[in-house]
């Protein structure tokens, strides 16, 4: 009986097992990283949607104030309607009925509404159309189409639980 020298082959099974485990470990780490990255993307998308809803809420508020302006003649009913819609504490007064006066009324009402902090939603998101520095409600001309009576931009801002801030803006012509 001849004896074979198995010494060079010793440990090859352990070596192959370690290589296989390393490959499986690398695949697991790679997939885990992809899934965690996907969760962050999904979370950011959710925050973006909330910011978009906040921008939409800004326009809904603006349209409600415009409805009061169009529905009532100059005077008490118009002013009280705008005050109720925008939850204003002060006595607010809108003059006139033409387009320029409507724009001035909406600018003043929205600036007062936002400076009083009434533009924050229950989920912490805020919208801004007219802040104390600038107002995006403008008449026809410039970057607003000639056929529109006015244009406005509403910006929604939401800061998520992890400090990520999402901003979305909507621009309309009416």
Q: Where are the domains of the chain?
A: 11-173
Banded pLDDT at 1 (limits 50, 70, 90): low
Cα separation of 28 and 146, whole Å? 59
Residue range 77-93: mean pLDDT, rounded: 85
Q: What is the pLDDT of residues 38-84, one digit of tens each?
A: 777 777 788 899 999 999 999 999 999 999 999 988 877 888 898 89
For residue 56, the model assigns a pLDDT of 95
Q: What is the pLDDT of residues 119-161, one digit of tens each?
A: 999 999 999 998 767 888 888 777 788 788 889 999 999 998 8
What number of CA atoms fall less than 13 Å from residue 23's CA on the CB side?
5
Q: How does the average pLDDT of the chain come out, rounded?
A: 86
36, pLDDT greater than 70? yes
Enter the tokens of residue 141: 């001309």
Cα-based torsion angle of the residue sequence 160, 161, 162, 166 in order, rounded to the nearest 10 degrees: 0
């Amino acid at each position: 009986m001849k004896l074979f020298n198995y010494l060079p082959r010793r440990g090859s099974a352990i070596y192959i097992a370690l290589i296989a485990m390393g490959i499986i470990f690398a695949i697991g780490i790679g997939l885990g990283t992809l899934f965690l990255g996907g969760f962050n993307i999904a979370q950011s998308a959710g925050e973006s949607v909330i910011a978009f809803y906040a921008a939409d809420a800004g326009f809904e508020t603006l349209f409600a104030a415009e409805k009061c302006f169009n529905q009532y003649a100059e005077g008490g009913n118009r002013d009280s309607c705008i005050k109720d819609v925008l939850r204003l504490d002060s006595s607010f007064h809108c003059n006139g009925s033409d387009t320029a006066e409507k724009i001035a009324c909406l600018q003043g009402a929205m600036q007062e509404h936002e400076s009083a902090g009434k533009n924050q939603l229950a989920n912490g998101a805020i919208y801004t159309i007219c802040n104390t520095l600038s107002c995006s409600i403008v008449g026809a001309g410039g970057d607003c189409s000639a056929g529109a009576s006015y244009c406005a931009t509403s910006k929604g801002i939401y800061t998520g639980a992890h400090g990520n801030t999402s901003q979305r803006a909507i621009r309309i012509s009416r």
